[in-house]
Structure 1
């Protein structure tokens, strides 16, 4: 598991602030980052955009992208990360959107999470299939993976 204090130190060393754009984790990533005392110098803000309307209103997600790809897609994860960067003072943003469960569908199964990480170098996305671990476990795995992505991008 990634040490959040280390991520914050890497952000300080690079002189960048962090923003999060979260759907399926409901703010847990921002919560983990701000669990560390003194994190306010590098954590700018977190966007919790659980509904599609919130994604559009708060992050500028294009309705056409939602229509074409659905909320759980790398395209939406990328737009979420880019929207968080554009609407904050952050130099790096991590975004997550997925199916924590229970449920899902044949095309979007429980445990599928799409990640976006955006910074000055652009935006990178990936999809991870955690599987039907149960809601709490999928969310915990998503937080851990998002923190790993942040650490990697800041290193």
Structure 2
């Protein structure tokens, strides 16, 4: 058994039921953030241009919006949660350490605290997976076993 399989097995056996509610909340939050980025792409472009990432601003804007929309929906449903969480990690690392931290580390910077919370939850769900109340578990239970 490889290390990745061991981590996956540990995550599947150590998943409290209340984390499913947190996973669903996280999925809704990411999906809504993606919708807001689609609605106001100039705001997202301004955030990315502040990072002096000018050559790929349009690509980055579309990646962030698409990853939040699709990844948030996948996390919400519990469908390939580990993969969706890992795809969100680079976005949230940039959001925490490069974008929101410039505004200061204070209790008034709510965007920073939200980004830190989302980053921590994405790391948690990258390890423990989707849980019992998810599309992955539904498929696992209803798929006939092969001999």
Q: TM-score range by the shorter chain?
A: under 0.3
- Which of the two has higher C-alpha Rg? 2
Higher relative contact order (CA 8 A, sep 6+): 2
Task: Give 1 or 2: higher helix fraction.
Answer: 2
TM-score between the two structures when normalised by the length of structure 1? 0.25
Task: Give 1 or 2: higher strand fraction.
Answer: 1
